[in-house]
A and B are shown apart, each in its own frame.
Chain A
Amino acid sequence: MTLAITSPAFKENARAAIADPQLQGVLRGGLGFIDRRQAAIDRLPEFDALRDAARDIKNHTLAHLDLYLEAYEERVRAAGGHVHYAVTPEEARAAILDICRKAGAKSVTKGKTMIAEEIGLNDFLEANGITPIETDLGEYIIQIRHEAPSHIIAPAIHLNKAQVEADFRRVHKHLPENRNLAEPATLLAEARGILRERFLAADVGITGANFLVAETGTSIIVTNEGNGDLTQTLPRVHIVLATIEKLVPTLDDVSQLLRVLARSATGQDMSVYTTFSTGPRRADDPDGPAEYHVVILDNGRSAMLGGEFRDMLRCIRCGACMNHCPIFGAIGGHAYGWVYPGPMGAVLTPALIGVDLAGHLPNASTFCGRCEEVCPVRIPLPRMMRDWREREFERHLSPRTVRTGLAFWAFFAKRPRLYGLATAVAMWVLSLAGAWRGRFRWLPLASAWTRERDFPAPQGATFQSQWKRRRR
C-alpha cells in the first residue's frame, strides 16, 4: 500500500533520468537554492555556532526521547487534543482512517508531509472512499500527475512551467480554454482558486509537523504558501502526522532550530508562515478545529536510536544535502526509488525499507562530503553511507564482481613486495600498449570507464622501481 519501491532498479532509474532531456534541462538550470543559502548565511555571522546549537539540541532530545514523548503527550491531552502512537505504517493509516470515519469525512485537505508519503496515505484514503486533496502547490501538481515528490521541500522541482500548464489544462477542464497560463503567477492564481473551494469543503485537514514541542504540546509547521494554515484551521478535525524524532524540548529550542532551517532550505531568513498549533479551538478562539489529533509514527526509527545511524534522526528535512549533491544534480530525486532522495535518503531509506532493497543508495556517492558540509545539524552523512556499505559487505549483499575484484586487489595490496613486482610488469605492458596514443579509447575490463572517457596510458616503470634505481 505504501509508495512502490523502485530503489533496487536505481541504475536503470538513473539511466532513464539521464536520458530525459526535459529533466536534465531542469537539473542543469540549477535548483537556485545554493546561492540563496550562501547569501543567507553570509548575512548571519553566527550561523556555524547556531548549527552547533541545533545539533546539540537534537542530540539532547534523542538521548531523552522517552521522557520528552511522555511530556509532550501529557501537554497535548491537557490542551484537549488526542495522541495516537503507531509503530508501523499500517497502524498509522488505521488511526487516521478511524478518525476520518468518526468525523464522517468525504474529503480531506493535506498540507505537505513526507510522512504521509512514507505510509502511502493518499492511495489508502482513496481506496477507503475518502478524497485526499494536496494543498501545497507542488504537491497538488504531482498529485494530479499521479507522481511522487522528487525533492523533500520542492516536490515538483523536476517539472518545468510548460509541463504544469499542460497538466492544469488537462485537469481543470471547466475553465475557459483561452485563459492565460503562461506565467507562474497565473498558474498560482488558478491553483489558488481551485483549492479555495476544497479548503471550505474538507471535513478533515491533515498536516505534518516540522517540530513537536514537549514543553507546550505544540505542533509547528513552516510553509510559504499559507496552505498549511487553511488546512489545519478550516476543517472540523485537524490531524497532525509526525514521527518520533520531531520532538524538541522547549519553544526556545525551536527558535534556534528555525533559525537554521529556512536558511539551509531556501535561503530565507524565515519561511513566510511559521504556525504553532496547540490543541483544538478553545471557547474564546475565533477559529480552529473542534478536534485535534496527533498520530506519532515510529516506523523503524526507535531501532536507529541505539546504533550508528542515530545521528540521522537529527535531520530537520531542509533538503540542503540534496541541493548540494552532485549525484542528485545529475539524476534528480525519483531515481532513488522511494520517498527520500539525495544523501539524507541514502542513509535513511536503508534504515526504513532495508538495505537489501536500498543498497544502491549509500553506494551511489563519491563521498565528496558536500552534504555534510552544508547540513544544519552536522549529520555525518558520508560516514553513515560507509556504515551501510559495511553492513552490506558483512551480509554478502554487495555484487559478486565487486567482492571478487576487491579480494584479488587486497591479496596484492596486503603484500607490498609482491604488489611491487606485479604492478611493475602490468604497467610496463600497459605503457607499451598505450605508447603511441598516450591513452586508450577502450580497455578490457575497463569499459565502464572507457565508454565515455579515455583512459591515460601509464608513463612506464613504476615510481617505486625508478626511485630505487635512482637512489642506489
Chain B
Amino acid sequence: MADIASVETSSQQKRVGLFVTCLVDLMRPSVGFAAAKLLEDAGCRVEVPRQACCGQPAYNSGDRRTTREIAEQVIEAFAAYDYVVAPSGSCAGMLKVHYPQLFRDDPNWLLRAEAFAEKTHELISFLVDVLGVTSVAASHEGTVTYHDSCSGLRELGVKAQPRKLLVTIGGLRLEEMRESDVCCGFGGTFCVKYPAISNVIVGKKTEHIAATGAETLLAGDLGCLMNMAGKLQREGKAIAVRHVAEVLAGMTEDPPIGETRVREAQAKP
C-alpha cells in the first residue's frame, strides 16, 4: 500500500471518498483495497469515512422512510469529498440515480441529493470516463469472461469501460459469453425471496459462462459475483470468480471468491 506521506497532496489532487459497499466491506475487503489502489495509481487521494449501507435492502422492500434516513446519513458522511466512488454498479446506481428520486418531494434534500449524485461514480467508469485512464499496469495470464451487472449497465452505462481496460492487461484474453447483459438472478433480496426462480436464471448464466472456456469470470458487482460463484461451485465447474477491480489492480494474491489457499493449491496439477 502506498505510503500516505509520499502521496502528493496538492490542491489539484482529487479527494475521493470510497463508498466501499457493505458486501465488499464484509465479504471481500480485497476488492476495496484493489479499488483504492486503482484510484491512487490514477492520482486520487482516497479516504474511507465511516459507513454502513446505501439502503437498497430497505428501498427495494418498500420501506421509504428507513431508506431516506440512511440516504441522508450517507450524503452527510461524504459531503467533504470531490468525488464518491463505489466498486459496484448497483450501489453507485442507488446513490446516483435513486437518491434524487427518493427526495423528489423535498426541495431542500433534493438539491443536496442531486449535488451528491453529480459527484458519485461507479469505480471503472470513473477511472475511464472521468479520470481518462486508458490502460492498467497489471498482468494476468489466461482467458477471462465478463458479466455485465444490470444496474451498472442500464442505470450507469457501464459496458465498454471495463473491457477497454481489461484488454490492456498483458497475457489476458477476453472471451465474451452469450447474453452477458442478461441478469444473473441475484437481485438482492430477490434471490432469497424467490430462490427457485433465481436458481433457474443463474443456471442459464453458468451455462453461458462455462461455454466460453474461460478460466476466470469477472464482473463489477460482488452480489452478482457471489451468486454466480456459488452456483458454479455447486455445479462443480472449476472457474475462478473475481471482481474486475482485483484483476485491473493486479491484486489477485487472495484466493478467488469462495476458494481458500488450501483448495487453490490442491486444484493445481
Residues of A within 8 A of B (CB): 11, 14-15, 18, 24, 28, 326-327, 329-331, 363-370, 372-373, 383, 386, 388-394, 398, 402, 406, 409-410, 412-417, 419-420, 423, 426-427, 435-439, 441, 446, 448-449, 451-464, 466-467, 470-471
Contacts and interface: CB of A to CB of B under 8 A. Distances in A.
Contacts of A393: 61-64
A15 B197 CA distance: 8
Contacts of B192: 446, 448-449
B262 interface: yes
Nearest to B255: A438
A437 B258 CA distance: 8
Sort chain B's interface into a size bin. Answer: 35 or more
B41 to A, nearest CB: 17
Contacts of A456: 27-28, 226, 229-230, 257-258
B260 A437 contact: yes
Contacts of B231: 452-453
Interface in B144-168: 150-151, 154-155
B263 interface: yes
A448 B195 contact: yes
Of A366, A420, A467, most B-chain CB atoms within 10 Å: A366
Contacts of B64: 390, 393
B212 interface: no
B82 interface: no
Interface in B48-68: 48, 50-53, 55, 57-64, 66
Given A366-B187, A367-B60, A457-B258, A437 B263 contact: yes
Interface in B1-24: 1, 4, 20, 22, 24
Contact of A419 (B52, B66, B101): B52
30 contacts: A327-B197, A363-B194, A366-B198, A367-B188, A368-B183, A386-B62, A389-B61, A393-B62, A406-B58, A406-B61, A410-B66, A413-B66, A423-B25, A436-B260, A437-B263, A438-B255, A438-B258, A438-B263, A448-B195, A452-B199, A452-B231, A452-B234, A453-B199, A456-B226, A456-B258, A459-B27, A459-B30, A464-B20, A466-B29, A471-B4
Contacts of A438: 255, 258-260, 263
Contacts of B255: 438
B50 A369 contact: no
A156 B226 CA distance: 37
Given A326-B201, A455-B226, A459-B29, A369 B24 contact: no
B139 interface: no
A398 B32 contact: no
B180 interface: no
A454 B62 contact: no
A426 B25 CA distance: 12
Interface in B236-253: none
A386 B201 contact: no
Q: Which 3 A-B pairs have the closest CB atoms?
A: A366-B187, A393-B62, A389-B62
A466 B73 CA distance: 22
Contacts of B197: 14, 18, 327, 330-331, 364
Nearest to B203: A452
Of A423, A451, A454, most B-chain CB atoms within 10 Å: A454
Of B194, B195, B201, most A-chain CB atoms within 10 Å: B194
Contact of B262 (A330, A383, A420, A436): A436
B18 to A, nearest CB: 9
Contact of A462 (B25, B55, B60, B198): B25
Nearest to A401: B193
B109 interface: no
B143 interface: no
A414 to B, nearest CB: 6
Contact of A463 (B29, B77, B204): B29
B130 interface: no
Given A367-B188, A455-B230, 12 more contacts: A327-B201, A366-B198, A393-B63, A402-B193, A406-B66, A412-B52, A413-B57, A413-B66, A423-B26, A439-B230, A453-B202, A456-B28
Contacts of B136: none
A391 B200 CA distance: 29
Interface residues of chain A: helix, strand, loop or mixed (majority): helix
B100 interface: no
A328 B178 CA distance: 19
Of A331, A368, A370, most B-chain CB atoms within 10 Å: A368
B103 interface: no
B141 interface: no
A438 to B, nearest CB: 4
B195 A463 contact: no
B75 to A, nearest CB: 13
Nearest to B149: A368
B26 A462 contact: yes
Contacts of A14: 194, 196-197
Contacts of B70: 410, 413-414
Contacts of B57: 406, 409, 413
Contacts of B51: 416, 464
Contacts of A416: 50-52, 73, 77
Contacts of A436: 260, 262
Interface string B61-96: 111101001100100010000000000000000000
A135 B139 CA distance: 63
A454 B230 contact: yes
B254 interface: yes
A352 B238 CA distance: 48
A36 to B, nearest CB: 16
B220 interface: no
B233 interface: yes
A36 B76 CA distance: 48
Nearest to B198: A366
A391 B204 CA distance: 33
A416 B53 CA distance: 8
A452 B195 contact: yes
Nearest to B205: A326
Nearest to A461: B29
Contacts of A419: 52-53
Nearest to A393: B62
Of A14, A326, A412, most B-chain CB atoms within 10 Å: A326
B200 to A, nearest CB: 4
Contacts of B58: 406, 409-410, 413
B133 interface: no
Contacts of A364: 190, 193-194, 197
Nearest to A426: B26
B94 to A, nearest CB: 11
